[in-house]
């Protein structure tokens, strides 16, 4: 596995590239041009500028997260073709600097959502928390009002322009059923995957977080069956998934290690993190350690190891520890601990494999002689 680390860019992240450089085994940054409005082409000069910054620290920039998809594409509006053309140009521009994987999502309106970004834990750290009943009881119109009355309202992962047009979007999505959303995703993929394939880029969709419908909006990438369906929409080595253990792990029925084994050749990028699920559907993000949460991180890493995974892996949301002031979920310290936990499992599995190979080899030799 190739270890990478998400970085939001100078002035946009409390974490510095020189700090990331000191985390063992991190080879590249996972990046994006966060200020380019969704739907616009990413200019080559800006991409090259980012490359210069990465080069200074010897990081590759093979993985982009995310090139966001304009709502008109998800809604299937006639204007989608214009945005799809821009998306294709962005793929081409990114390929010019050697980008190999583009992560994106197809969640209507919202990206990931939590009800508390800094919930206090027993040990004094804070972490991101999702209270299911709170989201279920929240009337989207109240949300719209709250945002309208509070110009400073921001939610990580949401571009400001999406927030401004929230009520209009809710209205527009009333006409989009789950089936229609699948059809719109297929249309998008049929257009962009040939371009990605031509440039040897993998388009890796991120699962929906949480993996169930919220505010009455349909959500697609929630389960093993639905990931299979997505991969079958367009049969191409460029139509892939970003397997995120945290997003999928919020639903205890998801067998993530099983997904790793089934979709091995279509997972170029993995997000690995843990969370603790409660019986009422709430969950809180924990350290990456298996024992601290409900997601079997060891089994997942073992599944990657068993399938000889050579893709990119990043630690995902961490807690906020040691008084760090950072973007929610994206501090330096807990994610660095996460990297070391993942390496700990991986390196142990490598050692075991080596010992097994060494002990099996003489036997098979003697078998060959008899």
Q: Which residues bind ligand DNO (CB under 6 A)?
A: 65-66, 103-105, 111-112, 157, 206, 271, 317, 329
> Prior bond to 144 cis, omega within 30?
no
Beta strand pairing call for 126-130 and 269-272: unpaired
Report in angstroms how near the CB of residue 201 gets to ligand DNO at its nearest. Answer: 15
Report in angstroms how near the CB of residue 83 gets to ligand DNO at its nearest. Answer: 16
CA 184/CA 171 separation, integer angstroms: 17
Q: Answer yes or no: 330 catalytic.
A: yes
Q: Answer yes or no: 271 catalytic.
A: yes
- Closer CB to ligand DNO, residue 12 or residue 141? 12
CA-to-CA separations, 196 to 98, 116, 192, 199, 200, in angstroms, rounded: 12, 37, 6, 5, 6
- Of the residues 13, 62, 209, 316, which is catalytic? 316
Nearest alpha-carbon partner for 226 in 251, 193, 191, 201: 251
Q: Answer yes or no: 60 catalytic.
A: no
Q: Answer yes or no: 199 catalytic.
A: no
- Of the residues 60, 288, 305, 317, which is catalytic? 317
CA 296/CA 201 separation, integer angstroms: 30
* Angle CA 144–120–326, to nearest 5: 70
- Of the residues 330, 333, 334, 341, which is catalytic? 330
* Angle CA 13–15–16, to nearest 5: 105
Q: Answer yes or no: 278 catalytic.
A: no
Beta strand pairing call for 60-65 and 202-205: unpaired
The DSSP element (H or E) to which 26 belongs, if any, is: strand 26-31
Beta strand pairing call for 202-205 and 126-130: unpaired
Q: Answer yes or no: 57 catalytic.
A: no
- Of the residues 173, 244, 288, 341, which is catalytic? 244
- Closer CB to ligand DNO, residue 6 or residue 305? 6
- Closer CB to ligand DNO, residue 2 or residue 219? 219
Report in angstroms how near the CB of residue 308 gets to ligand DNO at its nearest. Answer: 25
- Closer CB to ligand DNO, residue 36 or residue 349? 36
90 HSE (CA, 13 A, CB side): 28
- Closer CB to ligand DNO, residue 271 or residue 305? 271
Report in angstroms how near the CB of residue 40 gets to ligand DNO at its nearest. Answer: 16
Q: What would the DSSP string read from start to end of 6-17?
A: E---TTS-SS-H
Give the residue nearest to ligand DNO (CB).
66
- Of the residues 271, 288, 305, 320, which is catalytic? 271
Report in angstroms how near the CB of residue 285 gets to ligand DNO at its nearest. Answer: 10
Report in angstroms how near the CB of residue 222 gets to ligand DNO at its nearest. Answer: 13
Q: How far is CA 286 from the centre of its chain?
A: 17
- Closer CB to ligand DNO, residue 328 or residue 346? 328
Active site residues: 206, 244, 271, 316-317, 330
């Amino acid at each position: 596995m190739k270890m990478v680390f998400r970085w939001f860019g100078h002035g946009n992240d409390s974490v510095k590239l020189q700090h990331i450089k000191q985390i063992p085994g991190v080879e590249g940054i996972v990046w994006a041009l966060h200020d380019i409005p969704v739907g616009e082409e990413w200019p080559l000069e800006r991409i090259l500028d980012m490359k210069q910054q990465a080069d200074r620290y010897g990081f590759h920039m093979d993985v982009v997260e995310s090139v966001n998809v304009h709502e008109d594409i998800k809604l299937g509006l006639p204007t989608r073709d214009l945005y799809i053309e821009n998306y294709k140009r962005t793929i081409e521009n990114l390929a010019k600097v050697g980008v190999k994987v583009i992560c994106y999502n197809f969640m209507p309106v919202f990206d990931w959502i939590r009800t508390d970004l800094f919930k206090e834990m027993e040990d004094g750290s804070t972490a991101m928390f999702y209270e299911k009943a709170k989201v279920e009881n929240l009337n989207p119109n109240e949300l719209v009002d709250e945002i309208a009355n509070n110009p400073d309202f921001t939610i990580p992962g949401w571009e400001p322009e999406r927030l401004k047009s929230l009520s209009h979007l809710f209205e527009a999505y009333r006409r989009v059923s789950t089936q229609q959303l699948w059809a719109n995703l297929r249309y998008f993929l049929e257009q962009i995957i040939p371009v990605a394939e031509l440039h040897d880029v993998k388009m890796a969709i991120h699962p929906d977080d949480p993996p169930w419908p919220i505010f009455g909006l349909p959500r697609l990438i929630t389960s093993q069956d639905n990931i299979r369906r997505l991969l079958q929409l367009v049969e191409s080595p460029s139509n892939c998934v970003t397997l995120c253990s945290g997003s999928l792990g919020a639903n205890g029925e998801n067998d993530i290690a099983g997904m790793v084994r089934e979709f091995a050749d279509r997972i170029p990028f993995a997000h690995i993190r843990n969370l603790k699920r409660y019986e009422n559907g709430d969950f809180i993000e924990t350290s990456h350690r298996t024992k601290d949460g409900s997601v079997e991180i060891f089994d997942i890493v073992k599944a990657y190891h068993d399938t000889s995974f050579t893709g990119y892996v990043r630690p995902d949301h961490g807690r906020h520890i040691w008084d760090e002031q950072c973007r929610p979920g994206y501090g330096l310290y807990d994610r660095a601990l996460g990297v070391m936990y993942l390496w700990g499992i991986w390196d142990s599995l490598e050692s075991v494999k080596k010992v097994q190979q060494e002990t099996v080899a003489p036997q098979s030799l003697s078998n060959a002689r008899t």
